[in-house]
Amino acid sequence: MLRTVLPRLAALFLAAVHLVVLSAPPAAAQRNIAIVRDAEIEALISEYARPILKAAGLARSGIDIVLVNDRSFNAFVAGRRIFIHTGTLTDAETPNEIIGVIAHEAGHIAGGHQERLRQQIQRAQTMAIVAALVGIGAGVAGAASKSGGLAQAGVGIAAGGAEVARRGLLGYQRSEEATADRTAIDYLNATGQSAKGMLTTFERLAGGLALAGVNVDPYQISHPMPRERIANLQEVARKSLHFDRKDPPQLQLRHDFMRAKIAAYTQGANAVTRLFRSDPRGLAARYGDAISTYLHGNPGAALKKADALVAELPRNAYLQELRGDILIKANRPLDAANAYAKAIALAPGRPGLLQVGYGQALMATGKPDLVKKAASELQTGLSREPEFANGYRYLAQAYGQLGDIPAAELATAEGHFHSGQYRDAKLFALRAQKQLKPGSPGWLRAQDIIQYKQPG
């Protein structure tokens, strides 16, 4: 299941930096900001990124990839996170195009670009930066589209805004772009991958800029693409040994499944049809169709479509996950739990997100022994995905059903904590602590939440 969740405050403001670039007014833009959580997409993107980050010497730096629910093309680095818009993923026809973008962003990280902005972001008050960046974002949009209205809206809000933000948001220097391109090609060569996807992507974006209207992708603004940059890139990329190497067919299929899923969830059935116009009965088109039917149609029909796909791809974990989602909707929690259990067994590394789905289904059965199992599955799932704030709500429900009120209150406290709602978190942690044995693990965790001080 693809879920869009509101990020924690820190992520929210970092995402806001680029997200709002082309959408004013800021208040409306902020409403739209959401992070996408999905086991299938996250597994694929981290597979794309792993060898590149290793080649860049960043494998141990704990770089996280965060998916932002936004139709435009954008990818950017903030601190230790690489943010990628879902629109970037659906626009890319091949895995290699996304791998190229990740290689370029890794080049910026390894090169220490925008270092000053990052340091200043760490020091400044969060909300001050949000206000400044949102305002400047709108200003940049106005400048890009040559429409005075937007620019003026931006200037008003940015009036007290920081110089920092201006310098950072206006993007990388041309010299930094050239460095990141060259470094990216080194990483691609070192990992035996083609630089063609990166070239295709940047050519497409550079072409788009020439026709610039209001819908310029934010990426084009932060990553300047003058003609000579593209020309240099063409020359160097074509020299690479692996230029004509294609992505393995299995990877291409997973890529198309990802695009089908994002299209079905964020834009609906017609978007899936458009995306796979050239192969309307192919596996990816049918996957998107099954998801659309699950989301907007009858669960029985969706289940038939999912089962037909399972018959062709019996080892695909995420088809089992889809079956679980459908069976929950069909009010068959026990069958759903079995489907999620299969998904977990088939997915490498027991993804915490799948475990949360499993726990939810077990809880929905209402059978005391299964609810007990639900609590322990949710607990382990969340220990792997501690920032998945929604999951704590189910955990609290499970403990509630089991009559363990202090544990339910502690889970609620965790949920608020990981959503950045510290006041509510402390309230529930205090209530939990009063009923817990002093010094027990739950009591200590409650204490951590009570004593937590927000950075900055």
Interface residues with Zn ion (CB under 5 A)?
172, 177, 180, 223
Smaller CB separation from Zn ion, 103 or 303: 103
| Distances in whole angstroms, Cα of residue 257 to Cα of each of 73, 168, 275, 319, 344 | 19, 35, 11, 10, 18
Smaller CB separation from Zn ion, 219 or 265: 219
Q: Shortest Cβ distance from residue 106 to Zn ion (Å)?
A: 11
Token pair 């704030």 in the structure block, residue? 389
Smaller CB separation from Zn ion, 70 or 176: 176
CB atoms within 10 A of CB 384: 14
DSSP assignment, residue 244?
Answer: T
Q: Where are the alpha helices (DSSP H) in 225-332?
A: 227-239, 249-266, 269-275, 283-296, 299-312, 317-329
Backbone torsion region of residue 278, taken as left when φ is above 0, otherwise alpha when ψ lies between -120 and 50, otherwise beta: alpha
Q: How far apart are CA 345 and CA 371, in angstroms?
A: 20
Q: Shortest Cβ distance from residue 225 to Zn ion (Å)?
A: 9
Q: Shortest Cβ distance from residue 172 to Zn ion (Å)?
A: 5
Smaller CB separation from Zn ion, 56 or 364: 56
Smaller CB separation from Zn ion, 181 or 377: 181
Q: Shortest Cβ distance from residue 223 to Zn ion (Å)?
A: 4
Q: Where are the alpha helices (DSSP H) in 56-125?
A: 86-91, 95-110, 115-123
Rg (CA), the chain: 23
Residue nearest to Zn ion (CB): 223
Q: Shortest Cβ distance from residue 98 to Zn ion (Å)?
A: 15
Smaller CB separation from Zn ion, 177 or 186: 177
How buried is 160 (Cβ within 10 angstroms: 0-12 exposed, 13-18 middle, 19+ buried)?
exposed
Q: Shortest Cβ distance from residue 53 to Zn ion (Å)?
A: 16
Q: Shortest Cβ distance from residue 73 to Zn ion (Å)?
A: 13
Are the C-beta atoms of 91 and 200 separated by less than 8 Å? no
Q: What angle do CA 347, 349, 351 make, to 5 degrees?
A: 70
Q: Shortest Cβ distance from residue 185 to Zn ion (Å)?
A: 13
Smaller CB separation from Zn ion, 97 or 177: 177
Q: How far apart are CA 52 and CA 55, in angstroms?
A: 5
Smaller CB separation from Zn ion, 148 or 207: 207
Own/partner contacts of 273-278, CB < 8 Å, gap of 24 or more, are 275/90
